[in-house]
Amino acid sequence: LFLRFWLNHFPLLTAEEKRDLRRANKRLTTLTVQDVLEIKYFLSKNSFTQGDLALQYGVTKGTIATIKRGQSWKDVPTPTEYP
């Protein structure tokens, strides 16, 4: 599940608890080729925001932006079907 979905559907959490969950999810993660294929697919379909994808894959929005602009992972093509 996406962290944002989870946070929005459990309003009993305090603002501090939500902040802590977001920070914990922003750990440094090494993306796999499969991850990048999925990210590129979702970006091409405008299925999720860059922020949502960053939360899901445990990276920063900047990492997602560089993938979208083709500055990183250039050798991985954008799939036309879900990988």
How many angstroms separate the Cα of 26 from the Cα of each of 4, 51, 65, 76, 81?
A: 13, 11, 15, 23, 28
- Check: pTM over 0.75? Answer yes or no: no
Q: What is the pLDDT along the chain (83 residues), one digit of tens a residue?
A: 455 555 555 566 677 776 776 666 555 567 889 999 999 999 999 989 999 898 888 888 999 999 999 999 999 999 998 88
Closest CA to 54 of 83, 15, 19, 28: 28
- Collapsed DSSP state (helix, strand, coil) of residue 78: coil
* Cα separation, 3 vs 7, whole angstroms: 6
Q: Report pLDDT for 36.
A: 93
Tokens in use for 47? 């299925």
Q: Report pLDDT for 7.
A: 55
